[in-house]
Structure 1
Amino acid sequence: MDGTEKSQETEIQNGLKETHISMQEIAGDDLKKNGKKKKKKDEKEKEENNDEEEKKNELPPVPMLQLVYRLRGMFLQSILKQEIGWFDTHQTNDFASRVTEDLNKLQEGIGEKVGMFLFFMTIFLASIINAFIHGWELTLVILSVFPILGIATGIIAKVQSSLSNVEMKEYARAGSIAEEAISAIRTVVAFGGENKEVSRYDANLVHAKKAGVKRGLMTGFGMGLMWFIIYAAYSLAFYYGTGLILKSREGDGSFDPAKLIIVFFSVLMGAMNVGQAAPYVEAFSVARGAASTIFDIIERKSTIDPTSSDGERPPTVEGIIEMKDVHFNYPSRPDVKILQGIDLKIEPGQTVALVGTSGCGKSTCIQLIQRFYDPMSGKVLLDGNPIQNLNLGWLRDQIGVVGQEPVLFATTIAENIRYGRDGVSMEDIHNACKEANAHDFITKLPKQYETNVGERGAQMSGGQKQRIAIARALVRQPRILLLDEATSALDNQSEAVVQQALDKVRQGRTTVIVAHRLSTIKTADKIVVFSEGKIVESGTHEDLMKIKSLYYNLVTAQISPTELHKENKEMVSSVAKTAYDTESLTEISQDIMDDLANMAPTALVRSLSTRYSQRRRRASVKSEKNVDKNKIEEQEEEEEPFESVSTLKILKMNSSEWPYIVGGVIGSAMQGTLSIAEPDEARREADLYALLFLVMGFIAAVSMFMQAYMFALSGELLTARLRKLTFNAMLHQEMGWFDEEKNSVGALCSRLSGDASAVQGATGSRVGTIVQAITTLGVSIIMGLYFDWRLGLVTLPFIPFVLIAVYLQSKILMGQSVTESKTLQDAGKIAIESITNIRTVASLHKEQHFAKKYSTALYKPHKDALKKSHLRGAAFGFAQAIPFYAYAVAMFYGGYLVNIKEISYENVFKVAEALILGTMMVGQAVAFAPNFSKAKVAASHIFKLLERRSAISSSPGVGLKLSGPVTNIELRGVHFSYPTRPDIPILTGMDVKVERGQTLALVGSSGCGKSTIISLLERFYDAKKGKVYISGEDIQALNVGWVRNQLGLVSQEPVLFDLTIAENIAYGDNSREIGHNEIVDAARQANIHSFIESLPNGYNTRVGAKGTQLSGGQKQRIAIARALVRNPTVLLLDEATSALDTESEKVVQEALEHAQKGRTSIVIAHRLSTIQNANTIAVVQGGQVVEAGTHQQLIEKQGHYFSLYKTNK
């Protein structure tokens, strides 16, 4: 075992040490998160220190709760430390489901049910020992059947565990579909994919349901067999026991009827407790199935472990990066060669640009430098050391990364930047933001650096997100800077500002740039041209332009003939005009900065305006509440009011399965009645009663089979239906609902997987147990009063005490379930956010941070559970003690009545046993109080969602459906602000119109409201004031589905689903079956057909979760094909070609222009060269159109557009 494995094993064994962090650490993390002033910090520290003291003085820990708490932390930690290649071959969405559902099932299986099982089995052992003492021979004969029972139970438990594992895997797959759909809700809704997603989700539910029903069948069979064997033991006891009595009378008389009664009742008591313990075996089987996956991950040794302490940590970094004969294929596609013999050396402080067509291996080099993967052959070296020999965490700490699609986390701007380096001060943050040209727009926000950016930065515009990501990279003070299309998301103004910032900060750092806009890398020290995984050219911009080969062709494809002439004639002048040479052209750069500042004075004022409709999100939007930080904290701590749901209402949800429920109730009632036996009669006619016991055993077997199987069947059907209904209800809510913080992707997925399962706690087999208990109690009371009403009345008052214990425990649990449900959702958000953004987490080396943050979120409910477990234990103990007190009183008073000749001792036993057994059954039903409490909490969430009516109904029958194509689109006096930020105006009197067949181009700075217009047309939102008209009709009067069917949307950040390429393209039109020829035609138009055909599986190639198996350009072209296959009457293009390389952009732009012919088009573009042929160009500023006209008209006007055009050039 090498050092790495030892380190990993130590971490697993000491998981509690890593996850059960001290409150002092929690305080430190919270202080960093909130960025409080000194006074606030002191108050927070004092509060946390008080919690620390409280923690020291808290009640002794409950081992099972500690174990589950530890496992939750270890599970996430183990996931986060796996190599990136492992995530490529495993669906990250599966883990999002498993973090909640599998761990909840494991908790159920190893929590209090273990205590209950041990309780019942202890009584069983004590009873059997007592039986041996009073009649070992008869006891042995009775127990002879138990090995058969044990073997049968073991086999059944193994099958149950296997089926449970299958069931949870299918639920995990369904959960991954749910997470994918919710995180890409705008894409789903825009293409009318709600019903398709529900069908995909339901398909996995069907498989899970079948496995669950099979498990219920095995449970029913096992329970029936167990009770048959128990009654067979009773039969054997009376048959053989009577023989012993007769034989004893002929001999020494050592075995008399009294001993037969003692042995029988002891075995009866033991058997009853084994019967009560049996349902827990199923819970253990389910937990075992859940544990299988959990421990597979926990125990897996990562091949590239970012948390390992192994590896060298050189004291200094020069920044020499070298690749020697590197060959590489992605683990998920081992037959597709990505890099083929790359040899590249980058000197310290040198800037090297990697260029080439999409998918040629540029971004792969960036990933290999970070050691996301190891090469198949060859080496990657840093300062002459193979990076495999360096400590991985240390290596990534030396690197600052800015990607094409920047990922921000759902916290404040300051905290997002602070993720760049531990212990960074606010001054450092300010300086980094100034370097990234982000400080000015941040300080103009209402809450400045404490502004919450939303999930995946959804509350920020594309340019704002990119600049925050750059500041995060700079605050690391990295020796190496990796920029992968770092300015692709920016408008012209933002790009000029940010590009100048990048040029400034890369001085003295080794910098690797991947760029499609070649104008941004002209000043690089070396430009390396890639083609099909090989380096085909390298040199300076001037050198490569002289060669007039591949690089020359790429450059000339991006610039006009006039500019090319200038390029060839005045290279230096061209460079000066781009203002990138910061050493010799400082004044020119400053002039450009001044021009930009004067050009759009309102752009920064409105910079809080988001473009989350313009930037297609992979995660649902979290709201930014416009209150101060303290209020946000208070809101986070506030619990949503719990609306009590009646058990009857929950059971009504199961009404579709009433035949199965009736069958289960009948079985439970039969079993409850059979629980009352009259063994004393059997002494007189042993043979007859031995036969009767066999008959009762058969009836018990049938009744238990009916009870277990029927209720399992109804419970599984209910769970699947509730999941489907809940998911369907989620997908049909308006976008504003998803914007709310409580409805983040993580929270919704946790609710979806947890609530439906929890509701089953008030139905299914639990109903069987309750019905059985009530039936037993009812028969017991009747029998007790029938045989002697006086003794019955004396014993009867003990039953209410058991019911009081049930009520108390339920009351204690209800409050805990509400709190636990919310806090587990909050913790689930953290887990899902870190898993789905694993590449960003890995780049920042923040695996341990998120693991600790997750453990911190779990600590409070864990602490509360520890405290309340003692109260619950007391209530349960009280309920279990009552039957024995009742038994003592019954024996005492019964003895008195026997003594005065008022009752026979036979009737004393009959009354006592009947009433005590009934009371005991009620007491044992207390064990299911937790399931009922959690079920009611979960049901309240589900009913609230199912009964909620969307503010924008997408029902097929609501609204007008116009005949013929869309004739025109108009926004008239439209005012709009997002529901989560009603006091921040986005559109302020928008007036714009486009006629049929014309193209309207919207231009302006980031955050000015361009993409909000597209959101209003898609009816993601409705205008607060003013009207949106389609074909002269108010859009709110039209059918939502019809409106969306007219539109074809292509966004800047393309969303693909974990389906095949063909299925992703066909997703463009979910109203019909798309033929393969149509898919191929659309792919040809989008210039992606040749690439698809080159793949081993062609159109059947899966693209991976969120399209991770494809490059940005490849994803974008598939997204364009998806829009074209829809054949829409209106095209909505939001930066549709921004992610493409030069060669692809040119072809795709031609395809789009061809597609636009005869169609109404609304185009948002930062590259003004792509919209010069538009019929109307509208310049948007501050939520209004400030000027409009054709390209030529606006150039002649020399206003806002002219200024933008100059900057763009």
Structure 2
Amino acid sequence: MQVAAENRDETETSKEDITSQTLPFYKLLSQADRLDWILMVLGTLGSIVHGLAQPVGYLLLGKALDAFGNHINNTNEMVNALKKVVPYVWYMAFATFPAGILEIGCWMYASERQVTRLRLTFLKAVLSQEIGAFDTDLTSGKIISGISSHMSIIQDAIGEKLGHFLSCFATFFSGVLIAFISCWEVSLLALFVVPMILAIGATYTKKMNAISATRMSFLSEATAMVEQSISHIKTVFAFVGENSAIKSFSECLAGQLHMSKNEAFVKGFGTGMFQIVTFCSWALIVFVGAIVVVAGRAHGGDVIAAVMSILFGAISLTYAAPDMQIFNQAKAAGKEVFQVIERKPMIYTNREGKILDLVNGSIDIYDVHFAYPSRKETLILQGFSLSIAAGKVVALVGSSGCGKSTIMSLVTRFYDPIKGDILIDNHSIKDLDLKFLRRNIGLVSQEPSLFSGNIEDNIKAGNSNADDDQIQKAAQMANAHSFISQFPEQYLTEVGQRGVQLSGGQKQRIAIARAILKNPPILLLDEATSALDTESEKVVQAALETAMQGRTVILIAHRLSTIVNADTIAVVENGIVAETGTHQDLLTNNKFYHNLFELQNISQESYTRVEDPMEEVASIQTEISSQFLDQPDEPREVSKTPQTTLKKGEMKESNEGSIFLRIWFGLKKREVKDCIGSSAAAFAGISKPVFGFFIITIGVAYYRNNPKHIVGMYSIIFSSIGFLSLFAHTLQHYFFGVVGENAMTNLRRALYAAILRNELAWFEKPENSVGSITSRVINETSTVKTIISDPKSAKGFSSGSSAAYSELVALASESASNIKTIASFCQEDHVIMKAKVTFEEATGAKQETKYKIRDHSRQTEIEPDSPKQSPHKSTKGEIEFRNVHFFYPSRAEVTVLDDFSLKIEAGSKVALVGPSGAGKSSVLALLLRFMMSMKEKDNICYGNEGASEAEIIQAAMDANIHEVISNLPRGYDTSVGEKGCQLSGGQKQRIAIARVLLKKPSIMLLDEATSALDAESERAIIYALESLKLRATHVTVAHRLSTVINSDTIFVMDKGKVVEMGTHAALLAADGVYSRLSRLQTVSEN
């Protein structure tokens, strides 16, 4: 997995931009409303009063010193003088307490409100972007970072830190004023120190700004890495890619760690410079003060008040230095956030767009040229033209990657063509209101997308006003009602994030029901029945035939039997319409179509999934097109008593102990750094009371006969303390920063590795969504660094919203992944409303400070391979199941395999067939135990990173994808985009097949391996897979019987058991379940 290096190359320019530009700080407050401004005004008043307290205290100290010095021989006079001072001390104390409450409370509450609003604004901006933006700029990692870690930094900056910063400046300015009132000569000298402090602060700010921006870019890469690997966890597990994923994640963290070390050093050195300037200034000014006192131009108390007020005011600026660091980080984070918020989408809802009274549905596509934004040099469509009359059915056929699905994306206006135009009812779609356009188009894609929530909510996305009867009728038409009714919760059954609790066929039928409920005049069906078995397809196809009546329909299908009744069939080649006509016309006149039909004339492509929650574990979709078992070092045991294993992974809270101590003592080789950092911190802390002692001593010396000698000696001591403070602060911040950053990095790496050790069922739990896990690994682990190196006061004020943020991160991740579905069903407002509800429900909630470090200690139910084991020298490939009982943890009441037994000889080719729900794919999932953003080459060699260039090319040729890759401008170095978005479904499937061909496993598991391919590619791949027969044991799951007729043995499954077995001919002669399936396919073909 080469993601880190690749992303670093691709984002180098953006990093330079981030570093070179800054965001005005006031923009971070752009979400403030009237109440927020009132809170900030009150917080500012509290900060000012709080800041005034220190200089006023020095003024009172000066008065007290004068009382002692002037009346040292007269106790009564001394007491009387002190009595005049003491009440003011009480007044100051009573004013400071409520001021501190206002400062912290108002600023933190205001920041919480503003950042909540900013998160929603950010999410709205993300959802308003055109689809092309998600192919290039808006990666999932950037979105998740923007809504989580970046927002946390901004909230910190405009909350407590801003209040503290204002308090420090109030201390400085009031200190200067009081100093000039007390003794202008000393104050004037002290004032010359301020420009030096400001110069140091400006240099410090500039350096920290550059480092923080770069560090944040590395953090975004790490976030994207986690999000991508967890999204494709089945691929990672199937190809034993855990170590590769951890290695890539570690590479992402390495850059951030390096920049954080630089940041720690600059922070320490900058703070140390503040200290040395301050102490050396003290040395000079107190000596000059002695001269002023001797000359009789001021009292000793006035000098002390002036010196302490102005210099401690300057020191308060050093206390504001860490706040400035947070401000710099917030501006860097805000720059990325506001880049998204202020980005003008290329395709947007035009308020002046036309809304037609009636949509008839005629579609005219004129001379369209198009290239995807991420690959502008490669034209997908080159003068595509097609006219579709209202109410007609037009089918698009052609090889994978010829541009069929692109046409549908253009009609729904996910993209705009480079040249040409698309008209609906003689109106350019660019002139129509965007949401109006999409509300009148129903889309069912070959990659069904569902949202977390229940089945009813997902179907209702087609029509939010539909009642229960309409929802149930749509489900019946899509042949989904029967399996929905079998669930305990029926239509209220949770589907999980991205529909993980459902099989592929179930998700497809719910997506079809959603489109039927929408009842649009234009219907786009992109391989709408590709994931269905023969029986389900017949019912759904009949329903679609009914639904298509009176509508304009564009069909895409590799299976020609599903489009023979289309009014017009358009053959697409090289981005243009090569020929149009009816089925019979093209059979007679078009060689390409005729050959395609001949290739399919003995087969019916019918692809289904077992209707149990994890049927897709080992199945081939566009995410992972084939899964092969590379025999692990030691077979992992699957529990035979699932009733008890459900509790094995539970954490025992009582044995957790102190999380802080576990983190601290878990750090390796920290002793020397701890000692140095602690010693430096001790000196830096001791220097303050030592300074206080000396300043009082100097104050007393001012009242002696010859103060210059004593003050001169202490001036030398002050200068020495300043130089030592430079080293102390540098060492303190650097070593504690390094220890804290190492702790955070090690915990992130360990937590990520521990998460990858979990069994697949763990990832299906609602609390373990992709967004939640990503937030857990990236954001919550930062608490470790906070504890060790950057303690924050009043942290508990904001902890209650952590759960809400985690849910919002999960929602943002899901929205980014399903952006096309959200756009096509105009669900943007629904997503925003869901985000608002998330915050409302979390108001006032409390969350323990203990974050999800439990995941680091959780014992997985399926033990991973031991690193100490030596691999088997050879694996023959014999497979045997003995009396296996199995159900999925999320549905313990449904038995999937019941006393299942099966033996497969090494090197044989067997097939598993049977009706939906038989448990076929579950067999592969138990064996496996359970397309990423990489280059074409990296995707192919994933799981076999040591493969040579020649081996990679040969695997690509065997998978019939080499020619496609070679025609790309960057060849095998071409990025496939996040989740393979730059490739068509067939191209992704062929790359995934090349990946497993390169792996050359001893055991090969194929679950509908060619379902998304055209006939030509399918023949080439079947031939390549056949060539591996002598070297590997084949286990194939298929509904399309023509792909398994040459198997040595075919096992027919029903209700979790093997009910028939034999060769193709023998099973046909037996006239049982297999024979019935064969007849169904024959009828469908005819």
The answer, yes or no, to whether TM exceeds 0.5 is yes
Distance 1:1077 1:261, change over 3 A: same
Relative to structure 1, the CA distance from residue 680 to residue 440 in structure 2 (aligned partners, 3 Å threshold; closer, same or farther) is: closer
Shift of residue 1181, structure 1, vs aligned partner: 1.3
Going from structure 1 to structure 2, the CA distance change for 1:608 and 1:844 (only over 3 Å counts) comes to same
Residue from 686, 695, 703 that aligns with 1:673: 686
Distance 2:506 2:418 in 1: 38
Aligned with 1:82 (options 125, 129, 133): 129
Matched, 1:864 2:844: yes
- SS in structure 2 of the partner of residue 972 of structure 1: strand
Indicate how the Cα distance of structure 1 residues 149 and 298 shifts in structure 2: closer, same or farther if over 3 A, else same. Answer: same
Pairing 1:843–2:824 present: yes
Partner of 1:915: none
Offset of 1:374 from its aligned partner? 0.5
Q: Secondary structure at the match of 1:389?
A: coil
- TM-superposed CA distance for 1:618, in Å, is 9.1
Give runs of aligned pairs for residues 581-592 of structure 1, distance below 5 A. Answer: none
Residues 183, 619 of structure 1: 8 Å contact kept: no
Q: 1:1061–1:1103: 8 Å Cα contact kept in structure 2?
A: yes
Q: How does 1:851-930 map to 2 (within 5 A)?
A: 851-861=832-842, 863-864=843-844
Equivalence map 1:203-352=2 (5 Å): 203-247=251-295, 249=296, 253=297, 255-306=298-349, 309-352=351-394
Give me the whole-angstrom Cα distance separating, in 1, the residues matched to 2:141 and 2:817: 7
From 681, 688, 698, the equivalent of 2:723 is 698
- What is the identity, as a one-letter code, of the residue corresponding to 1:689? Y
Counterpart of 1:785? none
Q: 2:775 matched to 1:750? A: yes
Is the 8 Å Cα contact of residues 462 and 825 (structure 2) preserved in structure 1? yes
1:310 deviates by 4.0
- Map of 1:688 onto structure 2: 713
2:407, 2:106 → 1: CA distance?
54
Structure 1 residue 506 displacement after superposition:
0.8
C-alpha displacement of 1:619 = 9.6
Q: Distance in 2 between matches of 1:734 and 1:711?
A: 36
1:72 touches 1:103 (CA, 8 Å); kept in 2?
yes
| Displacement after TM superposition at 1:153 (Å) | 0.9
1:951 maps to what in 2? 861
TM superposition shift of 1:640: 10
String of CA shifts for 1:135-189, please: whole Å, max 9, x gaps.
2332121121111211221221122122111111111111111111111111111
Q: Deviations for 1:1154-1182, whole angstroms, at most 9, x for unmatched residues?
A: 22234210001121111111111111111
Superposed displacement of residue 122, structure 1: 2.1
Question: In structure 2, how many angstroms separate the alpha carbons of the residues matched to 1:135 and 1:1008?
Answer: 93
Three-state SS of the structure 1 residue aligned to 2:555 is strand
Residues 535 and 349 of structure 1: is their aligned pair in 2 closer, same or farther, counting only changes over 3 Å? same
- Aligned residues: CA RMSD: 2.8
1:1096 paired residue among 969, 978, 990:
969
Residue number in structure 1 paired with 2:637: none
Q: Percent identity?
A: 38
For 2:250 and 2:621, the matched residues in 1 are separated by: 24
Q: Which residue of 2 aligns with 1:37?
A: none
Task: Indicate whether 1:139 and 2:14 are aligned.
Answer: no
In the alignment, residue 1106 of structure 1 is paired with which amino acid?
A: K
**Equivalent in 896, 908, 911 of residue 998 of structure 1:** 908
What is the letter of the counterpart of residue 830 of structure 2?
H
How far apart are the structure 1 equivalents of 2:205 and 2:1054? Answer: 67
- 1:453 corresponds to 2:328: no
Aligned position for 1:1185:
1058
1:396-475 → structure 2 map (5 Å cutoff)? 396-475=438-517
Q: Deviations over 1:1087-1132 (max 9, x none)?
A: 1111111111111111111111111111111111110111111111
Alignment match, 2:50: none
Shift in CA distance, 851/310, structure 1 to aligned 2, threshold 3 Å: farther
* Residue equivalent to 2:167: 119
Structure 2 counterpart of 1:717: 742
1:611 counterpart residue number: 615
Contact 1:141 1:237 (C-alpha < 8 Å) held by counterparts:
yes
Mind listing any 5+ residue stretches in structure 1 that lack a counterpart?
Answer: 1-10, 21-57, 564-576, 579-595, 597-602, 621-638, 770-805, 869-932, 1021-1055
Contact 2:28 2:158 (C-alpha < 8 Å) held by counterparts = no
Correspondence 1:460-859 to 2 at 5 A: 460-560=502-602, 607-615=611-619, 645-676=658-689, 677=691, 678-682=694-698, 683=702, 684=707, 685=709, 686-766=711-791, 817=799, 819-859=800-840
- Alignment match of 1:1171 (pick from 1037, 1044, 1047): 1044
Q: How far apart are the structure 2 equivalents of 1:278 and 1:957?
A: 47
The aligned runs of 1:102-117 (5 Å cut-off) are 102-117=150-165
1:1068 is aligned to 2:1048: no
Q: CA deviation at 1:465?
A: 1.1
Secondary structure class of the residue paired with 2:199: helix
The CA distance in 2 between the partners of 1:140 and 1:542, in whole Å, is 99
Amino acid at match of 1:227: Q
Residues 1068 and 499 (structure 1), Cα distance of their counterparts in 2 relative to 1, 3 Å cut: farther
Matched with 2:998 is: 1125
- For residues 558-597 of structure 1, give each alpha carbon's deviation from its aligned partner in whole angstroms, at most 9, with x where no partner exists: 113xx9xxxxxxxxxxxxx99xxxxxxxxxxxxxxxxx9x
Aligned mates of 1:718, 1:12 — CA distance in 2: 30
Query: How much has 1:341 moved relative to structure 2?
Result: 0.3
Change beyond 3 A, Cα 1:860–1:311? same
**Amino acid of the residue matched to residue 388 of structure 2?**
I
TM (norm. structure 1) is 0.75
Q: Is the counterpart of residue 153 in structure 1 residue 201 in structure 2?
A: yes
The answer to whether the 8 A contact 1:95-1:172 is kept is no
Deviations 1:431-489 (A, max 9, x none): 21122122222222221111111222122222211110001111111111111111111
Take 1:257 and 1:12, find their aligned partners in 2: how far apart are those partners? 46
On the 8 A contact 2:250/2:749 being kept in 1, the answer is yes
**Offset at residue 1208 of structure 1 (A):** 1.4
1:797 maps to which residue?
none
* Distance in 2 (alpha carbons) for counterparts of 1:975 and 1:648: 43
Is the CA contact 2:500–2:764 (under 8 Å) kept in the aligned structure 1?
A: no
Whole-Å separation in 1 of the counterparts to 2:763 and 2:982: 28
Q: Distance in 2 between matches of 1:59 and 1:668?
A: 32
Give the secondary-structure state (helix, strand or coil) at the position aligned to 2:376. Answer: coil
996 and 290 in structure 1: CA distance in 2 versus 1, 3 angstrom threshold: same
Equivalenced residues, count: 946
Residues of 1 paired with 2:480 and 2:237: CA distance?
33
- Paired with 1:152 and 1:616, the residues of 2 have a C-alpha distance of 60
Which residue is 2:436 aligned to? 394
C-alpha contact (below 8 Å) 2:1051/2:1062 kept by paired residues: yes
User: Is 958-967 or 451-460 further displaced after alignment?
Assistant: 958-967
Contact 1:461 1:1007 (8 Å CA) reproduced: no
Q: Supply the AA of the counterpart residue of 1:750.
A: S
Question: Does the 8 Å contact 1:609/1:1009 carry over to 2?
Answer: no
Alpha-carbon contact 2:622-2:988 (below 8 Å) kept: no
User: What amino acid is the match of 1:753?
Assistant: I
Q: CA deviation at 1:414?
A: 0.2
**CA apart distance, 1:16:** 8.0
Contact kept? 1:1058, 1:1103, Cα under 8 Å: yes
In the TM superposition, what are the counterparts of 1:177-196 in structure 2 within 5 Å? 177-196=225-244
CA distance in 2, matches of 1:1007, 1:145: 80
TM-score w.r.t. length of structure 2: 0.83
CA–CA separation in structure 2 for the residues paired with 1:491 and 1:381: 36
Please name the residue that 2:87 is paired with. Answer: none
Change (3 A) 1:368 1:279: same
Which stretches in structure 2 are left out of the alignment for 5+ residues?
1-26, 37-104, 625-651
Going from structure 1 to structure 2, the CA distance change for 1:640 and 1:64 (only over 3 Å counts) comes to farther
